Structure 1
C-alpha cells in the first residue's frame, strides 16, 4: 500500500455493493488511469475482508493467467492461487481482486462462473476503453455491477489537506443562500490550488510532500505522457492523441464546438465518431454535447456532431495548456495563485466547472443559437432537474453580465427551474439569476 491513502467517496458505494450483492455479483470499477482505482480497491479489501488476493494482470505470470483458460475445476484454481500468493481464502469472507482485468480477457469472462460458485467476492478494475478493445471476442459477464471512478473532487482534495470542515460549511451557506463573507477569499484560494494541483493522487502526494508546484507539474506531465502512449496503442495514426492534446487550444478559441477537422483534417464521419467514442471511453475527457432542443430529456436531442471536450482533471488541463513551455513559462500557475487570471485564460474555469459537474454525476450538455448574422448566444452547461432544466453561464471573472442566460430563459421560460451565473466573486443574486462562486458548483 502507498504511503498516503486518501479518503475517497467511492468507498461508500463499494460498501453498499458488498452489503446488497452478498456475492451475487462482481464489482467492476472503471475510470481513467492513475486516478487511484487500485489503491482504493486494496484498501477496501484490507478493511472489509479477512483475507484477499490481488492479481495485477499487468505483472501476473503466464501461470496465473493460464488458470482462467479452463474453468472445469474451480477448486484447483483456488488452491493454486492460494499457493502462488501465499494467502488463505475464507469462504464468504475473502475477496479476489482482478486489477487491470483487461489484460486477461479470460479472467473477465470467468467472472460468470466464479460468481456462481459463490465462495468469494470479486472486484475488477480497468479502463473501459481497454476493456472494450481486449474483450471483443469474449462473453461479457452479466453478473457484474459497475462503478465509475473519477479524479479526486474538491471535497476529496480538501480531505487530503486534512480539512473535513470546509465543504460541509460551504453546503450550509449554499442551502441558506448566504454569502461566504470573510471566508470567501480563503475558500477560493483553496479552489484555485485544487485547479492547479488537480485530483490525480500522485500529483496530490507530490504537493503534500514537497509543496513545490514545479515537481507537481512534472508528475502531471508523466501522467499525460502515459495517456498519449495509451492513445497511440489504440490509434497508431496519432489522431486520438492530437484530439486530446488540442483541447486547451480549442477551448481558448471560444468556438461553439470542437472543430476536429482543424486538428486531424477530414478523416470521415465513421473514423471521427470512432475516435471520439474511444476518447470518451478512456475517461480522460469529459464530453459536453450540444442539445438541439433543451428539455428534461436532453439526450433525446443530443447532437453527436457538435460537442466540446474538457480534460477529466483540471490539473492535467493546466499542464497540457502549456505543454511546450517550461514550468516557469506557464503563466496559469502564477496568475491563478494571485487571483489575476486574465480573460483569455478563462477556459481554465470552464474546464473546472465541467469536472466538478461530472464528478457529481451530471451529464454535460450545452446550447447555442444565433443572436444575429455574426454572433451567437451560448449557454455553457444545462442540467436536468426533475421536470425542469437549469442553465449555467460560467465567468472567469467577477462580471455579472449574462446576456446569453437572459435570452435563453426568455426563449425557454416554461422549462426553467433555476438559473446560475458561476463566477469568481462571492454569492449574490437578483430576482431571477443566482450568482454563485465557483466553489458552490458541487451543490447545484
Structure 2
C-alpha cells in the first residue's frame, strides 16, 4: 500500500508547470524517495524509464558518446531495447546518481530538448552534490525530502485533513483542546516519536498494529548509514565519522548540549572532526543547530561557528539508539530522566527542519540565560522553549522583558500541557510543533 507523502503535491505541481526543469530529489537513504517518484511516474506517464546506477551497472556507460539527448537515449536503448521514448508521454528516472554524477551534465540538454521529463535522485546525493550542481547550473530544480513528518504519519493512520488542520485552528484561536482531543493526539505523538518517520518502520507498525519488529528495522537503517560511511567517505577518517554519529545520542543527554569533541575522544580537537560532521550533514543523517552570537535578527548572519548542537533528523532512530527498553519507556513515560527533554528537543528540531525552518539556539556565556530554538516572522524573533517538566521558564520570561532584546516581543513554550497564553508566552503541546511554520505565517496576518 502506498502512503501519501508531501512530495506528491509538489510533483504534480512540477509537472503542471509548462516551464518545469529536470528535477533533483535529495535526501537521506530509505526515506521513500524512489517509492514516491515511481508512484507519481506510473500515475502520470505512459512510459517510465527507470535506471538505478547502483543496481544496474550496465547503464554506467550511457554517456560514452556525449551528453546530448539523442546520444543518451540511443545508449539507453542499446542496453534495454524494450524502453519506449514517446515525446510528451515519457519520464526518465535516474536513481542513485551519486554513483554517476556526470549524468547531471545531460540535464541542460534535456531541458532545451523538452521532449521528456527527467527526475534524478540518490540516497547519498549530498556527498557528490557540489559536482552535480556545477554540472547542471540553471538546468534543474532541487527538492529536499525527509522521512515522514507527523502530518504524513497522521495521514497514514487514516486521519482526514480537516482533523489534522484542527490542531492549527486551536493554536491560532488560542483554544485549549478538550480532554479527548488532547489524549488522542498525545498518544499518536508518542507513537510517532517511538517510530519516527522512516516509511518501512511506519508501514510495519500500521500493517501489524503493533511495535513488534520496528526496532529491528530501525537498527538496520542505522547500520546501513554506517555502511555508507565505509563506502562513500573518501579521504576522511571513517572511524571518526562513525564515532561522531554514534556520540550524538549521548551528547544530547548532557545538560550542556553543545557538541563537544572531548566526549568522543580525550584531547580531541575540532579540526580533526569538522570534516566528519560536514560529511554526516551532507549525507542527511544528522542536522546542525547553530548558536547565535546574540538573540537578534537576522539569523543567518549572526551565528557563532564554533558552537552548535547536533540532532538526528528522525527521532525514532534516536530512540532506537538508546537501550532496547527505551521505546517502551517513552510510551509509558518512565525511566528516561534527563533524556526525556533531549528526545522532545530532538523531535522539535526534526519538525522544524521538515518545515524548512532553520535551527538556531542561544546560550549566554557565564550565565544561565539560554533558549532551545529561535524562529522568526517578518518583524519578530521568537524564542522557543521545549519543556520536559512544569518548571518556570525564567530564560524565556527574561528575554521577553529585557529591552536589550528588542526583536523579541513574545515567546513560545512547547511541553506536556494544553494550549494557553499568559505573560506574552504562548504554550502548546509538543505535537503542535509540526504546524509551527503555518502558525507563524497566519498569526502575522
Normalization by structure 1: what TM-score? Answer: 0.90
Query: Retained in 2: the 8 A contact 1:382–1:392?
Result: yes
Which structure 2 residues correspond to residues 188-207 of structure 1 after superposition, within 5 A? 188-207=186-205
- Render the CA deviation track for 1:157-206: whole Å, top value 9, x for unaligned: 01111112432121111121111122101110000000001100011111
- Residue of structure 1 equivalent to 2:238: 237
Distance 1:343 1:409, change over 3 A: farther
What is residue 49 of structure 2 aligned with on the other side? 53
CA distance in 2, matches of 1:406, 1:122: 51
Counterpart of 2:26 (choices 30, 52, 58) is 30
In 2, the alpha carbon distance for the partners of 1:132 and 1:227 equals 18
Checking the alignment, whether the CA contact within 8 Å between 1:296 and 1:385 is kept in structure 2 is: no
Say whether the 8 Å CA contact 2:229–2:238 is kept in structure 1: no
Answer yes or no: is the 8 Å Cα contact 1:109–1:141 preserved in 2.
Answer: no
Q: Hey, what's the Cα distance between the residues in 2 that align with 1:72 and 1:132?
A: 19
Q: How does 1:134-173 map to 2 (within 5 A)?
A: 135=131, 139-164=135-160, 165-173=162-170
> What's 2:319 paired with?
318
The answer to whether structure 1 residue 103 and structure 2 residue 99 are counterparts is yes
Return the match for 2:424 from 415, 432, 442. 432
What residue in structure 1 maps to residue 87 of structure 2? 91
Would the aligned equivalents of 2:290 and 2:360 in 1 still touch at CA under 8 Å? yes
Matched, 1:275 2:285: no
Q: Which residue does the alignment assign to 2:328?
A: 334
Whole-Å separation in 1 of the counterparts to 2:108 and 2:99: 18
Listed one character per residue, the Cα deviations across residues 66-92 of structure 1 (whole Å, up to 9, x for unaligned) are: 111222664353244346062322212
Structure 2 CA distance for aligned equivalents of residues 28 and 252 of structure 1? 36
Shift of 1:267: 5.6
Deviation (angstroms), 1:264: 4.1
Give secondary structure in 2 for the equivalent of 1:28.
strand
1:420 and 2:412 matched: yes
Structure-2-length-normalised TM-score? 0.90
In the other structure, the counterpart of 2:60 is 65
Question: Quick check: 1:194–1:315 contact (8 Å CA) kept in 2?
Answer: yes
Secondary structure of the corresponding residue to residue 338 of structure 2: helix
Distance 1:342 1:61 in 2: 47
Please give the alpha-carbon distance, in whole angstroms, between the structure 1 residues aligned to 2:387 and 2:81: 54
Tell me whether 1:116 sits opposite 2:117 in the alignment. Answer: no
Shift of residue 276, structure 1, vs aligned partner:
1.8
Contact map agreement 2:262 2:269 (CA 8 A) in 1: no
Structure 1 residue 148, shift from structure 2 partner: 0.5
Assess if the C-alpha contact under 8 Å between 2:205 and 2:212 holds in 1: no
Distance of 1:435 and 1:59 partners within structure 2: 49
Do the aligned partners of residues 417 and 282 (structure 1) sit closer, same or farther apart at CA in structure 2, a change above 3 Å counting?
A: farther
Name which of structure 1's ranges 193-202 and 434-443 shifts more when overlaid on structure 2. 434-443
- Partner Cα separation in structure 2 for residue 283 and residue 358 of structure 1: 11
CA contact (8 A) 1:312 1:355 kept: yes
- What CA deviation, in whole Å up to 9, does each residue of 1:320-363 have, x standing for no partner? 123xxxx3xx2x32232224464422211111111111111100
RMSD: 2.2
Mapped to 1, the partners of 2:8 and 2:395 lie a distance apart of 40
Q: 1:345 aligned to 339, 347, 352, which one?
A: 339
Query: Using the alignment, how far apart are the partners of 2:418 and 2:269 within structure 1?
Result: 47
Aligned to 1:75: 70
Give 5+ residue unaligned stretches, structure 1. none
Q: Which moved more, 1:354-363 or 1:105-114?
A: 105-114
Alpha-carbon distance in structure 1 between the residues aligned to 2:35 and 2:100:
20
- Determine if contact 1:37/1:149 at 8 Å carries over to the other structure: yes
Confirm or deny: 8 A CA contact 1:383 1:391 kept in the other structure: yes
Question: Are 1:382 and 1:391, in contact at CA under 8 Å, matched by a contact in 2?
Answer: yes
CA distance in structure 2 between the partners assigned to 1:166 and 1:229 by the alignment: 40
Structure 2 regions of 5+ residues with no counterpart? Answer: 437-445
Of 214, 217, 221, the residue aligned with 1:216 is 214
Match of 1:405 among 396, 401, 407: 396
What is the count of residue pairs matched by the alignment?
Answer: 427
